[in-house]
Amino acid sequence: MSARAAAAPARLQSGRVRYGELLVKALLGLCALISVATTIGIIAALFIPAFEFFQDVSIVDFLTGTEWAPLFEPAFFGVVPLVVGTLSATFWAVLVAIPFGLGSAVYLSEYAGARTRKTLKPMLELLAGIPTIVYGYFALTFFTPLLRDLGVGVDIFNALSAGLVMGVMILPTVASLAEDAMSAVPRDLRDGAFALGATRRVVATRIVVPAAISGITASFVLGISRAVGETMIVLVAAGQQPNLTFDPREAIETMSAFIAATGAGDVPTGSLEYKTIFAVGATLFVMTLILNVISIRLVERFREEYE
């Protein structure tokens, strides 16, 4: 896309300076600066108190400690149980979202007709529009009892139920981005394969998926990022106990759930407990930032390849 600023060739513009036009451009630029200010605000809000936190607590102890008990006496500030809790819930979410999201995307892109796609896609996106607290309610009051009825011995709060329901929530994100990537693969590639006698399944799995692999990977990475940062489902259904365990039947605490639970209480500003919010928040932010940047880069790559 060319810059539209160049739409009116410079030679055609009159020499007179139009102050109104300049003012408008400045105001619009100011709007755009708000999003820059947001990013700077987030970084400052997280890292300044986090830095103060690390003057009281050694950063090595924080990153390698296996016990998280910020309110106990003596207090322990090892973030590993929270990270493990986050990864455990994310694992179960990804286990649902990636295969079923990719399957939905292949169906919508390669199998469904134009009309079917037009009805199915908005319905799938409705899933992404359900508030996360509603999924949390569903996981706690419907899915966990269902798992118990099925003979899976889960605790009332557990990583498995929260993770699986979170997977359904992320599914449309994965499906939508993966489908975009597959739709961008040129028709010629498919037609060539069909001409050689390939079946629809072979075209989908051997031609389209490999050709769209960077976009598909981007959809997976974005899905993982969503799961890592998701708060309400895990807060409601996975519990608030920082157990260092990968056993999905037990209660855990994720980074996001700790932040929300601590932020909900009236923590005195400047206390060490208040600063833990920011130390954990900074850890979470860095993890999702890395995932987001990888995903954005991968999307750019498939855009370059086919558009």
Residue with tokens 């990977």: 217
Closest contact distance (angstroms) between CB of 67 and another protein is 23
Closest contact distance (angstroms) between CB of 106 and another protein is 6
* Helix/strand/coil for 225: helix
- Among residues 71 and 264, whose Cβ is nearest to another protein? 264
Report which of 77, 71, 72 is spatially closest to residue 53, judged by C-alpha positions: 77
- Among residues 58 and 200, whose Cβ is nearest to another protein? 200
Helix locations, the chain, DSSP H:
19-56, 59-64, 80-106, 114-129, 132-138, 144-149, 159-183, 187-195, 200-202, 209-211, 213-229, 232-237, 255-264, 272-306
Closest contact distance (angstroms) between CB of 211 and another protein is 18
Closest contact distance (angstroms) between CB of 126 and another protein is 7
Cis-peptide into 131, omega within 30 deg: no
Residue with tokens 């292949």: 106
Closest contact distance (angstroms) between CB of 49 and another protein is 7
Closest contact distance (angstroms) between CB of 7 and another protein is 6
CA distance 13 to 23: 17
Closest contact distance (angstroms) between CB of 57 and another protein is 18
Contacts of residue 187, defined as CB under 8 A and 6 or more positions apart, other chains included, come to none
- Among residues 132 and 183, whose Cβ is nearest to another protein? 132
CA distance 117 to 227: 26
- Among residues 142 and 246, whose Cβ is nearest to another protein? 142
- Among residues 63 and 134, whose Cβ is nearest to another protein? 134
- Among residues 142 and 247, whose Cβ is nearest to another protein? 142
Give burial (CB, 10 Å; 0-12/13-18/19+) of 118: exposed
CA-to-CA separations, 167 to 49, 172, 229, 230, 237, in angstroms, rounded? 33, 9, 13, 11, 14
- Among residues 230 and 250, whose Cβ is nearest to another protein? 230
CA distance 276 to 53: 7
Closest contact distance (angstroms) between CB of 157 and another protein is 11
Strand partners, 77: 68
CA distance 45 to 224: 24
